[in-house]
Amino acid sequence: MKVVRLVKKAKKGSKEALLQLIMDQRDDYYRLALTYMGNENDAMDAMEEMIVSLYMNIHQLKKEAAFYSWSKTILVNSCKQMLKKRQNLVLVDEWDSEESAHDPYLQSEQHMEIQEMLTIVNEHQKEAIQLKYFHDLDYETIAEMTKVSVGTAKSRVFQGIKKIRKQYRGEVDG
């Protein structure tokens, strides 16, 4: 497996191997950081912090195959620390209009409708739904990233979706 081989090289000090691992998933990292930070510049800053942290701590990774879930957890933690520093708990609500003019992902009408729907759920449900459906992460990874049990991660997604369905479609049987 390519990932395991590259992680082993990175653990031995290969910056090139670490860079290759990051570059292979750069779009996923960017979208994840953008979800939390709300603008391109802060998302890039969070990614830079993640890269430094990965380089400094790669030796702590126990299972090489878990590199991407581990690195995404580090990225989420970097984002949360940055948000805490500026005391602004934003997930995706406050988009910088100048930034969005250059990013087709942010311009999407469907994306805006989804963001409006997410305003009715609580912060934890919103985060879990975004990680599940915007970033296609499994419940185990979501639980690890948000420091909750797998059951809690599933519940947050389920309850949030249920609340959205009730609001936008009326009560759904189930």
Instruction: Indicate which CATH number applies to the domain containing 24.
Output: 1.10.1740.10
Give yes or no: residues 6 and 85 share one domain: yes
Taking phi over 0 as left and psi of -120 to 50 as alpha, with beta for the rest, 170 belongs to: left
**For residue 137, is pLDDT > 90?**
no
CA distances from 149 to 24, 67, 139, 142, 161 (A): 29, 20, 9, 9, 19
Domain boundary residue, one of 56, 73, 96: 96
Q: 60 and 80: one domain?
A: yes
Structure tokens given for 82: 């940055």
Domain that holds residue 30: 1-96
Q: Could you tell me if residue 77 is inside a domain?
A: yes
Q: What is the pLDDT of residue 92?
A: 42
Residues 25 and 67 in one domain: yes
**Whether residues 124 and 83 fall in one domain:** no
**pLDDT for residue 114:** 72
Among residues 88, 65, 53, the alpha carbon closest in space to that of 141 is found at: 65
pLDDT for res 45: 92
Per cent of the chain over pLDDT 90 is 53
As to burial, measured by CB atoms within 10 angstroms (0-12 exposed, 13-18 middle, 19+ buried), residue 113 is exposed
Are 84 and 24 members of one domain? yes
pLDDT in tens, 92-132: 444 444 444 455 555 455 556 777 788 889 999 999 988 88
Q: Out of 61-65, 80-84, 101-105, 134-138, which region has the weakest mean confidence (pLDDT)?
A: 101-105
With a pLDDT cut of 70, the percent of the chain lying above it is: 82
Does the structure show a pLDDT above 50 at 88? no
pLDDT at 146 over 50: yes
Same domain for 162 and 115: yes
Distances from the Cα of 71 to the Cα of 53, 58, 92, angstroms: 9, 9, 21
pLDDT in tens, 14-69: 999 999 999 999 999 999 999 988 889 999 999 999 999 999 999 999 999 999 99
Domains contained in the chain, number: 2
CATH number for the domain harbouring residue 144: 1.10.10.10
Please tell me the predicted confidence (pLDDT) of residue 136. Answer: 83
Q: Let me know: does 62 contact 69? Beta carbons within 8 Å.
A: no
